[in-house]
């Protein structure tokens, strides 16, 4: 009997927990789900699991130690900043650990100790990071294994609303953390490499430097650049690749309209707006426009942003209600970003029956052995979710984590250390099993006229 | 005999030191000039002063203490961050202190101790901050003294090139700290108040929200907003004024062209550009533009920034040489802001015969006692400098400091505490004496059709 401890049963955990319970008897697993809100967890996970749920405060050291002592492997689904304390416990108590999150500096620094203790700490095992690593590395390794050279690598992921639930002019709804969407792209210029040259995009131009991407059966998307492309050069062993670019997917037209919020200053999270507790949508918008005793907020915005009154951007802004006299309703002074988020949540929240969609797309240019002109390969994955809580996000985050746990517990993966799934021992079995759950990539060599537009 | 110690004999000190030496025998002053580069100071200040100059390292505590012990009043012309250590010495050794710089948090926190010791620490006695405080408070106090109410306050200052030395399409040269010019407006949104409403301008729109200002005899200027307007509400006792706005002056057209650097990301000081040590102007510009194997850097920039090829903005950019194949010449990897500064310095540095110009402009709307409609008053100051080192900047920074020293040493001003010149006991005698040096304000009630454009 092996004991699995799952810490945190939030909205991304249902597929993870279902998978583990389904396989529990076959593999001899005993599962404990520890969560700060056990009643909510019971409601989410259903009766079959109910007895395995225990109330738990992740910041309470002694009770964390007690639970971890009793298990063989810990799966931490806590917010990323809470993984470190769990990891320290696992190291001290000699337990394996799996998280879906980015490897933090602190986690990375434990590497030699983890190895010395013969432990396995697996990270970045969700969808992004996670499935992006696995699918990219599989493509890249295939090229290198057949003697080819990668000359260009692009990778885009987006969490979107499914086509059947898409009923607004933005073709977008919040399917994950709204705050991350509002703050996207902030914190420094985007840096990437194109044909060997380093290129830079400042925040104020980020949403106007998009790439149009076509995904078979799903139509056109646009991608804006992520800040971290250059980090992936080392990670994916692409140090000499002349072009490397990572980005986030939206439906075409989103970025041009979002850029208005950026230009107006509405996404700023660095200061609290005075007297904003009882502000209306319209007053919020007007705070970023010049004073005039008679001109309308609409006309001032259109003039300031050089928008035609019949533009699709104005239609999108109108639909969101940014000109409405309705109170924002936060009830306390807040930053522009917090107020904008609240306004967006009124329109962009998923309805109970809505489905989400995860879209991932990679593009590779290669120079194959013995050839003199480049080939282009595209690979795409689209996962449509079910209504909450069985979202595509929960599925694509939870299943790889669960499958990684199985690899560790069965001894199929046994290399000690702090890992992410960029090695075949991890990505091959997980990608293969994900296919049986309908999470698969369509790869093809691409030679059409409609080549993706350059950034 | 009273001993004056001047620490730092940099480029803003010549008028200060000349003034003090001119008045030394009449008032019985002995003057010591302490500087890290005594030879440069001798060259700057001339033979008459030579014997009073002593070599001095401001960061050397013991020698600082020795010099301060021997004097009655210290004038610190050091870079602002070095004032604090001097101020601590002055407090311990019971000496008066004058600086031209903003009162730091640390200086403010010494207030009660300074008062208890019967000492006078005068700050913000240059031009901006300095003459701006004095001239604004004189106008504001006059209105309040006659029973009027201030309903709008605007204040703009600029350090520019004098018309007779103005020979470039930007109508601008560096007359002070180039780095501050490149980084202007960064670090957070501009916040101001207009007709009782709080208004916000993000950095990405700052240089497109300008106000056009006409100054008699000197023509048209434009002002962009400073970040600190709201701080001045308390300082100037304007807490209830519906409109308060401070800004920086440039010649018309500067801001629209500068905005291109902002939009491109060239003013970013937050990251080092890879491989930039040997970069050319053209390569630097191209780093912010999309890759294309054949399109020119010029066309890519014009398209990205939506500029016509015959626009004045393109003329300005061309003139600066941002498309030239010339190496920037920094010799090490640097931030975009550092590289841009170097490119600008090649064209915007003052020639030996060039003159600078300080321009200051205030606008007040008032509701006078017994009246129902507002009146508008403008006040402007223009000071044309002589070639370096006798610049308008040195004159307008140095003379108020020197005059304040005289007020303290003669006992005309004797209120202990940490002060800035927003009180009549300081601003009245200094503004009056400045007039004898040609530094004066032209005030007039303004009722023209060409009212200043709203922001």
pLDDT in tens, A268-288: 999 999 999 999 999 999 999
Check if the beta carbon of residue A82 is closer than 8 Å to that of residue A54. Answer: no
Q: How confident is the model at residue B41 (pLDDT cuts 50, 70, 90)?
A: confident
Three-state SS for B38-49 is HHHHHHHHCHHH
Neighbours of B252 (CB within 10 A): 15
Cis previous bond, A129, omega within 30? yes
Q: Which of B188, B194, B204 sits opposite A291 (nearest CB)?
A: B194
Inspect the interface and report whether the beta carbons of A200 and B287 lie closer than 8 Å. yes
Tell me, yes or no, if A256 comes closer than 8 A to chain B by beta carbon. no
Q: What is the reported pLDDT for A12?
A: 80
Q: Say if CB B160 and CB B249 are below 8 A apart.
A: yes
Burial label for A309, CB within 10 Å (0-12, 13-18, 19+), is: exposed
pTM score of the predicted model: 0.91
Q: How far is CA A415 from CA A115, A419, B44, in A?
A: 8, 9, 71
CB contact under 8 A, A291 and B191: no
**The pLDDT of residue A452 is above 60:** no
User: So what's the pLDDT on residue B446?
Assistant: 74
Question: Is A195 an 8 Å CB contact of chain B?
Answer: yes
- Note whether A336 contacts B: Cβ–Cβ < 8 A: yes
Neighbours of A310 (CB within 10 A): 7
* Cis bond upstream, residue A408 (ω within 30): no
pLDDT, one tens digit per residue, over B48-107 is 788 899 999 988 999 999 999 999 999 999 988 899 999 999 999 999 999 999 999 999
- Strand-strand pairing, A375-384 and A442-445: antiparallel
A178 pLDDT higher than 50 = yes
Facing residue for A290 by CB, picked from B264, B292, B455: B455
Cα–Cα nearest to A362, from A153, A207, A72: A153
A77 touches A65 (CB < 8 A): no
The percent of residues in chain B predicted with pLDDT above 70, rounded, is 98
Distance from CA of residue A47 to its chain's centroid? 30
Test B195 with A293 for CB contact under 8 angstroms: yes
Position A447 scores a pLDDT of 63
What the block records as the tokens of A229 is 């492309």
pLDDT tier for residue A180 given thresholds of 50, 70 and 90:
very high
CA nearest neighbour of A403 among A393, A413, A392: A413
- Which one of B243, B287, B454 has the shortest CB-CB distance to A292? B454
pLDDT computed for residue B42 by the predictor: 87
pLDDT in tens, B194-251: 999 999 999 999 999 999 999 989 999 999 999 888 889 999 999 889 999 999 999 9
Interface test with B, best of A186, A228, A234, A265 (most B CBs within 10 A): A265
Summarize pLDDT for A128-169 with one digit per residue, the tens: 999 999 999 999 999 999 999 999 999 999 999 999 999 999
Give the number of other Cβ atoms within 10 Å of residue A264's Cβ.
Answer: 25
**Interface pTM, i.e. ipTM:** 0.87
What is the CATH topology of the domain spanning A131-257+352-392+438-454? Dihydrodipicolinate Reductase; domain 2 (3.30.360)
pLDDT at B368: 94
The candidate with the shortest Cα–Cα distance to B455, out of A260, A279, A304, A263, is A304
**Is a pLDDT exceeding 50 seen at residue B344?**
yes
Assess contact for B4 and B52: CB atoms under 8 A: no
| Contact B452/A at CB under 8 A | no
Q: Give DSSP secondary structure letters for B259-272.
A: HHHHHHTTT--SSP
Question: Do residues A417 and B255 touch, judged by C-beta distance below 8 A?
Answer: no
The rounded Cα B247 to chain-centroid distance in angstroms is 11
Tens of pLDDT, residue by residue over A311-333, are 999 999 999 999 999 999 999 99
Provide the CB-side half-sphere exposure for A213 (13 A, CA).
29
Residue A45 has pLDDT above 90, yes or no: no
Angle between helices A254-264 and A297-304 (to 10 degrees): 100
Q: How far is A20 from chain B (nearest CA, A)?
A: 45
Give pLDDT tens digits for A18-35: 999 999 999 999 999 999
Give pLDDT, residue A43: 86
How many angstroms separate the CA of residue B172 from the nearest CA in chain A? 26
pLDDT at B454: 39
> Across residues A219-226, what is the average pLDDT?
96
- The domain defined by A2-123 folds into Rossmann fold (3.40.50)
Q: Which candidate in B199, B202, B241, B295 is best for mutational testing of the A interface (most A CBs within 10 A)? A: B202
Q: DSSP of A136-188, one letter per residue? A: HHHHHHHHHHTT-EEEEEEEEEEEEE-GGG--STT---B-S-HHHHHHTT-SS
Question: Measured between CA atoms, how close is B277 to chain A, in angstroms?
Answer: 13
Asked if A240 is an interface residue toward chain B (Cβ–Cβ < 8 A), one would say: no
Interface A-B: count of C-beta contacts within 8 A? 105
DSSP secondary structure, A79-147, as one string = -GGGHHHHHHHHHHHT-EEE-SSPPPHHHHHTHHHHHHTT-EEE---BBTTBHHHHHHHHHHHHHHHTT
Query: Distance between CA B32 and CA A189 in Å, rounded?
Result: 49
- In this prediction, residue B447 carries a pLDDT of 63
Q: How far is CA B211 from the centre of its chain?
A: 19
| Yes or no, beta carbons of B203 and A202 under 8 Å apart | no
- Measure the CA–CA gap between A196 and A390, rounded to whole angstroms: 43
Looking at the complex, report in whole angstroms how far the Cα of residue A370 sits from the nearest Cα belonging to chain B. Answer: 25
Question: Domain-by-domain residue ranges, chain A?
Answer: 2-123, 131-257+352-392+438-454, 272-334
**Chain B contact for A189, CB < 8 A?**
yes
3-state class percentages of chain B: helix first, strand second, coil last, to nearest 5: 40, 25, 40
B204:A204 CB<8 A: yes
Q: Which stretches of B1-138 are assigned E, i.e. beta strand?
A: 2-7, 29-35, 53-55, 73-76, 96-98, 120-122
């Amino acid at each position: 009997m092996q004991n699995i401890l799952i810490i945190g049963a939030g909205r991304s955990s249902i597929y993870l927990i279902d998978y583990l319970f389904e396989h529990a008897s076959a593999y001899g697993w005993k599962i404990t789900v520890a969560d700060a809100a056990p009643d909510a967890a019971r409601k989410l996970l259903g009766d079959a699991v109910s007895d395995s749920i225990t109330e738990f405060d992740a910041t309470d050291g002694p009770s964390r130690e007690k639970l971890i002592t009793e298990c063989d492997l810990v799966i931490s689904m806590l917010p990323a900043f809470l993984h470190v304390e769990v990891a320290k416990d696992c190291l001290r108590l000699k337990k394996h650990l799996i998280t879906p999150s980015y490897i933090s500096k602190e986690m990375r620094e434990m590497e030699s100790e983890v190895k010395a203790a013969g432990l396995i700490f697996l990270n970045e095992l969700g969808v992004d990071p996670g499935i992006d690593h696995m699918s990219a590395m599989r493509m890249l390794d295939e090229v290198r294994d057949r003697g080819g050279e990668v000359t260009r690598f692009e990778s885009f992921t987006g969490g979107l609303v499914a086509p059947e639930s898409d009923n607004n002019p933005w073709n977008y709804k919040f399917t994950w953390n709204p705050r991350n969407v509002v703050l996207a792209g902030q914190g420094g210029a985007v840096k990437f490499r194109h044909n060997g040259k380093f290129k830079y995009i400042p925040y104020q131009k980020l949403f106007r430097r998009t790439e149009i991407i076509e995904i078979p059966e799903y139509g056109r998307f646009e991608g804006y650049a992520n800040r971290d492309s250059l980090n992936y050069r080392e990670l994916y062993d692409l140090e000499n690749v002349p072009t490397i670019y990572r980005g986030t997917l939206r439906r075409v037209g989103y970025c041009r309209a979002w850029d208005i919020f950026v230009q107006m200053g509405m996404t700023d999270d660095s200061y609290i707006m005075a007297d904003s507790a009882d502000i209306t949508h319209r007053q919020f918008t007007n705070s970023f426009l010049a004073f005039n005793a008679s001109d309308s907020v609409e006309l001032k915005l259109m003039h300031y942003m050089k928008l035609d009154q019949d533009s699709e951007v104005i239609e999108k802004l109108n639909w969101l209600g940014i000109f409405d006299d309705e109170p924002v309703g936060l009830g306390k002074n807040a930053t522009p970003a917090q107020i904008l988020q609240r306004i967006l949540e009124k329109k962009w929240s998923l309805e109970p029956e809505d489905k989400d969609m995860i879209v991932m797309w990679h593009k590779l240019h290669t120079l194959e052995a013995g050839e003199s002109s480049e080939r282009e390969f595209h690979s795409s994955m689209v996962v449509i979710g079910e209504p909450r809580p069985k979202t595509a996000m929960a599925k694509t985050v939870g299943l790889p984590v669960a499958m990684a746990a199985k690899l560790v517990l069965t001894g199929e993966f046994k290399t000690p250390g702090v890992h992410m799934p960029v090695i075949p021992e991890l990505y091959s079995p997980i990608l293969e099993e994900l296919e049986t759950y309908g999470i698969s990539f369509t790869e093809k060599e691409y030679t059409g006229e409609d080549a993706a537009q350059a950034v």
